[in-house]
A and B are shown apart, each in its own frame.
Chain A
Amino acid sequence: MTRKRKISDWILNGLTYLSSGIAVLMLFMVLQFVFARGFSGVNLDLLSKPYWSGNSTIEFPQFKTGSFERPAHLPDDVVFSTKLGVGLTDGLDAYKEHQVVVEYLDPDSPLRNGIISTAGVDLGKEMSLSEGSNIVNLMLKDTDGKIVNVGAQRKSTAEDTVAAMDRVSEMRKLYFKTEGGGIYGSLIATMYLIGLSLLIALPIGIAAAIYLNEYAKANKVTGLMRSSIEVLSGVPSIIFGLMGVSVLFPITQAMGIHTVSIILGALTMAVVLLPLIIRQTEESLKVVPIDLRYASLSLGATQTQTIFRVILPSALPGVLTATLLSISRIIGESAALIYTMGTFISDKPRLDQGATTLAVQIWSLMSGEQPNFELSSTISIIILAIVLTLNITVKLISHRLNKKWSV
């Protein structure tokens, strides 16, 4: 080997190492970014919190100040009002706006006994200030008989607010925003979507796979069927979105739903999933040895019995793989769902109304005037955790499946 050959070989090999290094770097950078921006937001609260913060104005007809002890567990940056029993901190919301956040509320605090004073069906109902809320405006009369307004709207700091609270003689009005920025609604909508899509797609997909593998003769019609299904798997997801609102919308319309809805999204996703389920199921049907079929048939079982009692149970790991991959696909899907389920983040998703899945909530957060990177990254972490776990699980299962028949 000449020296020149050696050098050129070394360079070419080095290029392949470099390319692989770039691939590793890409994965690392994506993960690093979402974790750096979103990890601080990951907590269990997020899962149960609504996205929209509620606005409430409450009054206090039976107002009495108390004298409260500052609890020892409060961090140092919390300012505590001894008269009202509330601990406040300065905070920023997702759009970097100043907030006066209720960090702690004493169980006996007078702020718990408010009644709603805004006109509407809830007028006069009891309502309590809640922890995590932002005090937008608090109007009170101080000990000098002067009306004072404090709160985030007045750019008061937590310290100013508490100082005003401790000089209170009479409460007037409290306008606060409950904590939002959660993903509860999207989480529920995602689960609805997963359940409903699989309910529709799995039976059809498995049945189609059985037809193609067990019954279909190798002729032109079967070939056409196969290639049609194959082409379907290559269709971009945004086209599936258009399909949903044109082909499937009449179906939901017949059910009396006249807008985008989770049902429409589920029908659309079912079509998206069909090729995947059919392929995975068929793969696992193929590896079931033909001897099993002969044995079953020769014992007098009908073809139907053979399929349901012998072949399908053996193909179960394939169906499981298909299910896991489908879930992963549904969780990651966005373009098709933007068309069929809309982009309005719903805190109380219903099957016959539009809602966002976790992925579409990211889209909604990012496509506004001010992209909300923090929450988007936090949701991304959740999505990645689920999707990557599912994919690794599938890999392990299929590995075992391959082993099963080769022994």
Chain B
Amino acid sequence: MDSKHISEQFQSRKKAWDKFFKGLFWVAGFLSAIFILLIIVFIVRKGISPFLPSYPGGAYPIVKFLTGFQWRQDSALYGVAFIVINTVVSALGALLISFPISVLTALFIAKIAPKQLSKIMTTIVELLAAIPSVVYGVFAAGVIVRWVDSLAGSFGLSTYGGNSLMAVSILLAIMVFPTMTSLAIVAINAVPKELTEGSLALGATKTQTNFRVVLTSAKSGIFAGLILGLGRAFGEATAVSMVAGNAMIGPTFDPFGITRTLTSTMLAGLKETQGLDYDIRFSVGIILMIVILGTNLLIHFVKRRIGGSMQ
């Protein structure tokens, strides 16, 4: 009787502890999951505030913000439209350079290289991914701008010390390369063996199989890498700011002209921590998130269309 009582108490205490810890673990999980919502809510709230009539010092007209083609801190002109175009153009330029190289490198690592060489190349891609963005920024400000400047010089053009759209694109190309390559490797390795063996059995050469069968079958994984790379290119901040040049008007389509991206705008001349010039960076942050999300959706849509027509 007595021992049963003790045992019951013991059992219930054990159960209480189990419940307590389960609750604790749940709180941690919940906290981790809720942050994305907090980020969106807080940034949107703060980013919208400059356009509301209650804003101290008067509201900034939202239409002017969304359609403006000038960004001048000195005369309080904040137009983001050309910056969006610049951001997209520089990222597309980066992908144009980087995408073919990373897909081919991935193919090399996954299918063509001898095993040892493939291991070394994988490590090299991983090391490239591990290099922090400020270091790439220093490299870009020291080396890439000089390339661009001398290239422009050979056309008889001059640049602002090499700070230019082209420098940004080359820098971003290097920075998104590891992301796209590693995802392409995963995609290529996931191609079923039957497909490649089938192709080889039909008499195709190894190279033909690699390019015609493997790459087309790995298409969706490679696209996923493209999206991720694009996201990284849009969101990259410190390194880009070092070579963008921060043009005040735009858009910039001249590869040797200075440019201004959403992220470089958010970092440029960051001194005060209040006032319109500070708060409007949150508005730019909202635009950045919309651009990233928008391109993701667009690419998904395009992919489905292409995928549909191929079947």
Contacts and interface: CB of A to CB of B under 8 A. Distances in A.
B124 interface: yes
B208 A30 contact: no
Interface stretch (B52-60, B75-83, B137-145, B151-159): B137-145
Nearest to B26: A211
A229 B32 CA distance: 6
A232 B32 CA distance: 9
Interface residues of B, number: 86
B127 to A, nearest CB: 6
A328 B237 CA distance: 18
B253 interface: no
A25 to B, nearest CB: 10
Interface string B250-290: 00000000000001001100100100000001100100110
A216 B29 contact: yes
A371 interface: yes
Interface stretch (B15-23, B64-72, B193-201, B300-308): B15-23
A288 interface: no
Contacts of B136: 30
A236 B261 CA distance: 14
Contacts of B289: 239
Contacts of B285: 238-239, 242
A303 interface: yes
Interface string A214-253: 1110000000111011011011111110110111000000
B36 A235 contact: yes
Nearest to B239: A334
A57 B137 CA distance: 39
A274 B32 contact: yes
Interface in B90-138: 100-102, 104-105, 107-109, 112-113, 121, 123-128, 130-138
Given A234-B231, A236-B263, 17 more contacts: A12-B210, A20-B108, A34-B138, A210-B25, A212-B29, A225-B29, A229-B33, A236-B288, A238-B285, A242-B266, A243-B35, A243-B42, A278-B32, A334-B133, A334-B238, A338-B238, A366-B138
Interface of A: 1, 5, 8-9, 12-13, 15-20, 22-24, 26-27, 29-30, 33-34, 37, 203-208, 210-212, 214-216, 224-226, 228-229, 231-232, 234-240, 242-243, 245-247, 259-260, 271, 274-275, 278, 302-304, 307, 328, 331-335, 338-339, 343, 359-360, 362-363, 366-367, 371, 373, 376-377, 380, 383-384, 387-388, 391-392, 395
